[in-house]
Amino acid sequence: MSVEIIDGHKAIIGKGERAAREILEILFPNKWIAVQRKAFEFYSPEVLKEGISERQEKETIDLAILPTRSFDKLNRKHVVIVRVQGEENAGYHKQITDKRQRQDFEISGCKVVDLWHYECPNLFKDEVNYRSFLEVCSALFAAGVSV
């Protein structure tokens, strides 16, 4: 893990995230790849009216593919949330949290792509090569995201 300043805020970048971002920037040159944003920024008013917990207020997403840098009137149907899921995400409690978060994103109209460490071994070496490219493309395709 490393700490970087991205888009004016401090971001903790985990294993595989840097390579995933580079690959997404190549695959989607006309989109904004947002890094380490608060998860609730992508929730619809429908999800937010239920209220969010203190924990949910702190949750961040690894990456998001957005049509524009503006969050004003964000059309969530054009948002793809990309979660880089390392070994630490395999625990029982973390899986429950991830499942709830996925449901909140999907209710909000976002697509969710999980890049799992066991499905993307080259990505988790933080390598950008044809193998890691294929791993990311495969996950995007499986989630119904067009490249």
The residue ranking higher by pLDDT, 143 or 97, is: 143
Instruction: Provide mean pLDDT across the span 113-132.
Output: 95
pLDDT on residue 10: 55
Instruction: Provide mean pLDDT across the span 7-25.
Output: 79
pTM of the model: 0.85
pLDDT on residue 98: 87
Return the beta strands (E) in the chain as ranges: 2-6, 9-13, 32-38, 60-66, 80-85, 111-116
Instruction: Provide mean pLDDT across the span 83-93.
Output: 75
Q: What does the alpha-carbon distance between residue 80 and residue 14 come to, in Å, rounded to a whole number?
A: 19
Task: State the pLDDT confidence band at 2, using cuts at 50, 70 and 90.
Answer: low
